[in-house]
Homo-oligomer: A and B are copies of this chain.
Amino acid sequence: MAEIKDQENDAVIIDQLYRALSEDDLHGARVLLVQMHPSEIADAMESLPGKARSSIWSLLSPDVEGDVLSELQVPVRMELLEQMRPFKVAQVTKNLDADDVADILQELPKDMKDTVLLAMDEQNRQRLRSILSYPEDTAGGLMNIDIVSVRADVTLDVVMRYLRLLRQLPEQTDSLMVVDRENKYIGVLALTDILSKDPEATVGEVMTAKTGIPALTPAIDVARIFEQRDLLSAAVVNEDNMLLGRITVDDVVDVIQEEAEHTVRSMAGLGIDDMFAPVITSARRRAIWLGINLVTAFLAAWVIGQFEETIQQLVALAVLMPIVAGMGGIAGNQTLTIAVRGIALGQIGRSNARALLFKELAVGFLNGLVWSLIVMLIVVFWFDDWPLGIIIGLAMIVNLIIAALAGAVIPLGLKRFGIDPAIAGGVLLTTVTDVVGFTTFLGLATLFLLS
């Protein structure tokens, strides 16, 4: 199996696989699948329509089913799980890491989860119960429990003899956990130190003292800690500082990826929609967003409706009004995106929130000035009407400043009320920029242009 392939190759393999499946060439498809890494198979399934997904799943050899399942995005995985019997789920997930099995089980309905647990052997069930007792998006939900721990008072030589007895260390082990007599966590012993320091030194002399991550720490904060400290793994502890498990960087990479993906999707009103969800499912998921935006659109329409007489007298207003509202929306969205990401990354507190607001207002004022001048000149040139040009210029500068204000204040306000600003921010902002844009432009026109 080639380790290295670029994106283009991925797409080519997916193409070949899709072609084999559409031509009912099951042998050809199986030959391709055998050459693929489970994560590539998962990628391919995500990139193909529902029918191809089930065909691929049915062609897989039993020993990769578990890995593929654990690599799939949640909605695609759910699709498969809904069609599987509990016994099959237990069988497929048997050889996975406990944290990956927990991820999968966490999405099942309670009764099915219990049945799957019962179908497992005692040891696996115990391990899983301890992870499942924590919410999925916390350190406890992310952790794995296959840890190797040592005491501080033994020598490195003893540690090495102990490791050799184990014959095999868990995957992704870069360090051992050091605990005291009561299994309380006190620090880590890096494998690099075991190998390069004096074998007669004790663990306590060589180890690095550390505090563990409390099991209820949100996953997103865990990701930030890993990112800031360039960690490969970290210990998870309970409220009494007892060692529960460890988190490895591969799980954290998934959290980081999902978190950024979450902003992109939320801001577009996509939720957890996947590329090839059934048409009905996709349509329904996106319909909510369209519905909410429709309310905004009718509100804007109602505002315009208040100025029907003005428009009747000067139709140029109808021609130009989308410019005022639209430019406000674009500028506001720039500020909103900055603020939403700042909040998601935990970079906005009380003091700099005000500084951010002032900065965005200044940017809004400056760009408002520049673009309202340009728009004014174009309108004067187009309609040969100075008063109309001045009115649209004024309306634009007002709307761009209000857009900057709204772009900064809305997400901060939503956050204070515990609402995800990535989801609700965009609609609220558009409502503000539409209503303010239409009101100022048509209002100023009513006041100054009509005889």
Contact = CB atoms under 8 A, between A and B. Distances in A.
A325 B327 contact: no
A296 to B, nearest CB: 8
Contacts of A326: 293, 296-297, 300
Contacts of A232: 172, 174, 232, 249
A211 B194 CA distance: 28
Interface string A169-197: 10111100000000000000001101111
Contacts of A267: 264, 267
A290 B371 contact: yes
B192 A12 contact: no
A46 B347 contact: yes
A371 to B, nearest CB: 6
Contacts of A43: 228, 346-347
Given A196-B168, A293-B330, A308 B301 contact: no
Interface stretch (A57-65, A111-119, A128-136, A359-367): A359-367
A28 interface: no
Contacts of A19: 351
Interface string A231-253: 01000000000000000011011
A111 to B, nearest CB: 32
Most buried by B among A218, A261, A273, A290: A290
A77 interface: no
A172 B230 contact: yes
Contact of A327 (B169, B171, B297, B341): B297
For the residues of A in contact with B, the DSSP-based class is helix
Nearest to A166: B196
Contact of A12 (B212, B256, B327, B349): B349
A374 interface: yes
Interface in A77-130: none
Contacts of A166: 196
A449 interface: no
Contacts of A300: 322-323, 326
Contacts of A321: 318
Contacts of A210: 3
Nearest to A225: B4
Interface in A293-344: 293-294, 296-298, 300-301, 304-305, 308, 311-312, 315-316, 318-323, 325-327, 330-331, 333-334, 336-338, 341-342
Given A169-B192, A276-B356, A224 B7 contact: yes
Interface in A199-224: 199, 210-214, 217-218, 220-221, 224
A97 to B, nearest CB: 10
Contacts of A46: 347
B211 A192 contact: no
Contacts of A347: 10-11, 14, 43, 46-47, 275
A322 B323 contact: no
A15 interface: yes
A362 B286 CA distance: 13
Contacts of A7: 220-221, 224, 346
A222 to B, nearest CB: 9
Contacts of A226: 253
Given A164-B195, A270-B338, A290-B327, 7 more contacts: A6-B217, A49-B355, A71-B228, A167-B197, A256-B260, A276-B355, A315-B318
13 contacts: A7-B220, A10-B347, A11-B346, A47-B352, A160-B195, A260-B260, A268-B337, A275-B342, A286-B367, A290-B331, A293-B326, A297-B323, A304-B318
Nearest first, the 10 closest Cβ-Cβ pairs linking A and B are A260-B260, A11-B349, A7-B346, A318-B318, A39-B228, A268-B337, A169-B192, A230-B250, A18-B351, A47-B347
